[in-house]
Structure 1
Amino acid sequence: MSVELELHGADELVADMQKLIDTAPEALDRAMMRAAKGFTEDCNELMPAGYSFRKTWKRHKVTGDFGITSAIEVRNAAPHWHLVENGHVKWINGTNTGGFVPGKHIAERIRDEYQDKYPEIVGEAVARAMAEVGL
């Protein structure tokens, strides 16, 4: 017994899929960079007024297979950022006072918020990219 199957519109679907393949990586890169920028801005908003880390944030694309960005690495280049974030032993005039300054854990809190926000941001970018090519 043989079955004959006719597909109509397969060529158009293939053409639309190719458009998506051509445009989606750039759209998703932009969405990921917007999310990374939002992350750094949210961290800066929570920072106490006496600290200024606005110009020390670095965002770097991590390129995966096929030349597509797989992640955005966000870090703060300030040499004392880790002390503010994680806390540190208190020293005065080169002497350990035995005290401890607790960390602010701002990036940690914002990271936890972005666990929920990030899929929405990228999902919206995917939906827009698909809508642009008519899928």
Structure 2
Amino acid sequence: MRIEEYTALIEKVQKEFPEEAEAELQRGARKLRREIKAASPVGHAKHPHKLKNSWKMEIAGTSAKTLEAHIYSTAPHFHLVERGHVWKTPHGKIKGYKQGTHFMEKTVNAEGPGIYDEMGRRLAEKVGVELG
């Protein structure tokens, strides 16, 4: 079965069984959130906004076509760790540049396709569709 046929079949199943599709989306998003949490760097500073404990998830959308999962961090320094930032002294003099780790991007690119395939297989098994 080609990827286009597989994708079309999964979309058809999503339209016919929206509750099951939402449940599988939640399951897949929770798994991806766990993977991102495990990949989050652990800093040495003591503060209440640790990256590892800041990951949240919400499901948005009202129909199978608009259903999507949002995974985000509530830590105010997430973007600095992910994308990098300029190091400055307390007086504002630029000391250097700290390269970003891009841990979230790497994790989503590495784990995302496998989780998406697993979600499709599980959804098909729940509704009894043969994927071929």
Give the superposition deviation at 1:76.
0.8
Aligned to 2:58: 60
Pairing 1:2-21 to 2, within 5 Å after superposition: none
Q: Where in structure 1 are there 5+ consecutive unaligned residues?
A: 1-19
Q: TM-score, normalised by structure 2?
A: 0.69
Q: Where in structure 2 are there 5+ consecutive unaligned residues?
A: 1-12, 45-49
Corresponding letter in the other structure for 2:59: K
Between the aligned partners of 1:55 and 1:69, the Cα distance in structure 2 is: 28
Give the superposition deviation at 1:78.
1.0
| 2:31 alignment partner, SS class | helix
| 2:37 alignment partner, SS class | helix
Pairing 1:1-135 to 2, within 5 Å after superposition: 24-50=17-43, 52-65=50-63, 70-131=67-128
| 2:126 alignment partner, SS class | helix
Shift in CA distance, 41/94, structure 1 to aligned 2, threshold 3 Å: farther
Kindly provide the CA deviation profile for residues 89-126 of structure 1, in whole angstroms up to 9, marking residues without a partner as x: 00221423241101110110011123421331221222
Which structure is larger by alpha-carbon Rg, 1 or 2?
1
Q: TM-score, normalised by structure 1?
A: 0.68
Between the aligned partners of 1:94 and 1:42, the Cα distance in structure 2 is: 39
Q: C-alpha root-mean-square deviation of aligned residues, in Å?
A: 2.7
Q: Which runs of 4+ in 1 moved over 6 A?
A: 20-23
Count how many residue pairs are aligned between Structure 1 and Structure 2: 112
Kindly provide the CA deviation profile for residues 23-64 of structure 1, in whole angstroms up to 9, marking residues without a partner as x: 832222122112212222112222233273233222121214
Shift in CA distance, 58/94, structure 1 to aligned 2, threshold 3 Å: farther
More strand as a share of residues: 1
Give the superposition deviation at 1:22.
9.6
